[in-house]
Amino acid sequence: MEILNDEYYMRLALELAAKAAGQTGINPVVGCVVVKEGRIVGVGTHLKRGTGHAEVHALQMAGDEAEGATVYVTLEPCSHFGKTPPCCERIIAAKAARVVVASGDPNPQVSGRGIARLREEGIDVTIGVLEQQSRLMNEKFNKYITTKLPFVTLKTASTLDGKIASRSGDSRWVTGAIAREQVHTLRHQHDAIMVGIGTVLADDPLLNTRASVPAVDPVRIIVDTSLRLPLEARVVTDRTIRTIVLASCSASSDKIAALTAAGVEVVVCGSGEKVDLAEGMKKLGELEIGSILLEGGGRLNGAMLEARLIDKIVLYYAAKIVGGAEAPGTFTFPGVDKMADAIALERVQIEMAGEDISVTGYPAYKE
């Protein structure tokens, strides 16, 4: 019976955590539920980096009833002083009797220490309840905190014959309204959006989230080898959102100065004529960009895939066929000689998005 109750309350905690997806930056999303004698006496969610963690909010709501209660939390309580005090000390001070944790924290500063500290004070700790759900929810944080590299999700929309635009370059709209709305939610759930300069020159996009999706606008990242980005482009003139440009060392110093004066951050990556994308990811990680939604054209998508820098792929397929040998495709790169060498996707999920098909999976790169 206890196991069933644990899963029930942990699901509630996971639902709370999911509500804050996209709001916590490089921090994880965490939910907490405090239960005493079969009653929920406190709930909490980590809402924003640098503010109180989920456990703090839940215990504040519970007040004196936290004594002797069970605390359900989706991630191991922190045991170190960061931007906020350690949560395990707050749980100890509240005199909780039991703590149920979905998954351990991969952060080297925390991993195992929070649980050990609680047990040291005689608190009963259960770990691993709905662990996979918790890890999936924080897949971006889990990668960033252990590698200092951003988690990259590729999103693209194409026709059934793999075209992201017609032969004339027209791409409005490949997919329907429901799929496009889902994309804006995806934007909200990532720290940054990344496109190539071709997309900016062709469409002059603002690269923000729609008003219909309550959201924090992600940082804009543009891969622009020789800095062709016009100073009058909307991603430059609109200063409400941070814009970062990845350029090669061949870029004009005068153009770098002009863009910098316009409020754009120019990051030079590599010593060659092209942007070193792997170095770019490292530098973006140093700038505390923990997750990126890649919305590139075929060449940028192909280059990122070839460099094994894509962690997750979300493909939207419209039930359309446009043909055209010159029509741009989803991935443009040399490719493989044998089908056995193709990059396969693991953990594939297929869903409908209105009249469009959504395929999500994780690239299984071969050694």
299 annotated ligand-binding residue: yes
In this structure, the strands spanning 312-318 and 344-353 are unpaired
* Count of all residues that appear for the chain in the document: 367
Measured in whole angstroms, the distance separating CA 266 from the mean position of its chain's CA atoms is 22
Question: Is 210 assigned to a binding site?
Answer: yes
Which among 7, 55, 76, 181 is annotated as catalytic? 55
Residue 297 marked as a ligand binder: yes
Q: Is 265 annotated as a binding residue?
A: no
- 249 assigned to a ligand binding site: no
* Burial of 65 from C-beta contacts in 10 A (0-12 / 13-18 / 19+): middle
78 is in an annotated binding site: yes
Q: Please say if 139 is a catalytic residue.
A: no
Q: Is 105 annotated as a binding residue?
A: no
State the distance between the two ends of the chain, measured CA to CA, in whole angstroms: 45
- Around Cβ 245, how many Cβ atoms within 10 Å? 26
Amino acid identity for residue 234 in this structure = R
Say whether 171 counts as a known binding-site residue.
yes
Has 199 been labeled as part of a binding site?
yes
Question: Are the CB atoms for 44 and 16 separated by under 8 Å?
Answer: yes
CA–CA distance, 293 with 187 (Å, rounded to integer):
6
Consult the annotation and say whether 187 binds a ligand: yes
Q: How far apart are CA 116 and CA 79, in angstroms?
A: 9
Q: Is 7 annotated as a binding residue?
A: no
The verdict on whether residue 22 carries a ligand-binding annotation is: no
> Residue 296, class by beta-carbon neighbours within 10 Å (0-12 exposed, 13-18 middle, 19+ buried)?
buried
- Report d(CA 109, CA 212) in Å as an integer: 38
Q: List the binding residues for Zn(2+).
A: 53, 78, 87
Q: List the binding residues for NADP(+).
A: 157, 173, 199, 225, 297-303
Residue numbers annotated as active site: 55
Q: List the binding residues.
A: 53, 78, 87, 157, 171, 173, 187, 199, 203, 207, 210, 225, 295, 297-303
Q: List the binding residues for substrate.
A: 171, 187, 203, 207, 210, 295
